[in-house]
Amino acid sequence: TLVPSARVAFERHPVLDAEEYDSLGAMRSAVEARGFYGGVRLLKATAKVFHEWCERNGIALPAGRNFILSYDTNIPRQAGLSGSSAICCAALNCLLRFYGV
């Protein structure tokens, strides 16, 4: 999901990008189940590549047109269903629409 904002921000998923846990054991269980990385890194990588592509192709993005980008997914992790690719594709579609590219 992309919404206009005064600054560029990437919203953490409450479960997949958690930074706070009820206990050390809860943190360990979460890391074992979901790994160390959530989807925010995918949003940032997609935005970076989008910006680079626009620059390389002479596409000027409007100054001050910023956003908050967030994600959610119901694709199971490590199931071979391209969940990371789906997040990146959805983020790219949001950026393309938002900037009219």
User: Total structural domains in the chain?
Assistant: 1
- pLDDT tens for 29-78 read 888 887 777 788 899 999 999 999 999 999 999 999 999 999 988 867 66
- Can you state the percent helix, strand and coil of the chain, rounding each to 5? 45, 10, 45
Write down the pLDDT at residue 56: 98
Apex 4 CA angle, 91 and 75, nearest 5: 25
Count the neighbouring beta carbons within 10 Å of the beta carbon of residue 92.
16
Write down the pLDDT at residue 78: 66
Task: Report pTM.
Answer: 0.83
- Domain boundaries, position 92: 2-99
